[in-house]
Copies of this chain bind each other. A is one copy, B any other.
Amino acid sequence: MARWEPNARERLERAALELFTQHGYDATTVAQIADRAGLSKSTFFRHFSDKREVLFGGQDIIADRFAEAIAAAPAAATTADCLAAALGSVSVVFIPERRDLAPRRQAVIAATSELEERQLLKRAHLADAIDGALRARGTDDTTARLAAQLGVLAFSTAYTRWAASGSQRPYAALAREALHELQARAAVLGQPS
């Protein structure tokens, strides 16, 4: 039977980011990550399928939460309400205690083009989750596709600001703000700036 390892997932994440930052992503092995975290390789593989998933595993959780939040929104909710619900649902992931990991994660991704590509694909997956959940509510195809792109853009804008934030503003507030900002800009694209 597996031993109970308190916070194993987070210990592995912190260890991996330390090693990626010090030695580079390519040069770091799963064995080194487990060792640095004081855990076994088999514990690593109970939490992540490979070292890349240490960086991106959270995105699948976020896609699921987006879809669930949109499905759970009241029948009278507008598309904008659904996006706000989706973004609000992931604020539990972006808690203050984890904020210090975000800029390190971003730096590791930015340093390796394979990881940047993976990030783009994961974001396309987030868009698909929003798109599918909106269509399931009866939203037309064009609006669903558009809202999916706006939602992901609000999500990534808020994440970047949260990661960079000296002001320690909570993710939920940043996400709401980013979504409003994008909606306001969309309304005036055809107006002289």
Contact = CB atoms under 8 A, between A and B. Distances in A.
A115 to B, nearest CB: 13
- This protein's copies in its complex: 2
A111 interface: no
The SS class assigned to the A binding surface is helix
Interface residues of A, number: 31
Interface in A152-193: 153, 157, 181-183, 185-187, 189-193
Contacts of A149: 149-150, 153
A183 B181 CA distance: 15
Interface of A: 76, 78-81, 83, 117, 120-121, 124, 139, 142-143, 145-147, 149-150, 153, 157, 181-183, 185-187, 189-193
When A and B form their complex, which 6 residue pairs have the shortest distance between CB atoms, in order from nearest? A186-B186, A80-B190, A149-B149, A80-B189, A79-B189, A143-B185
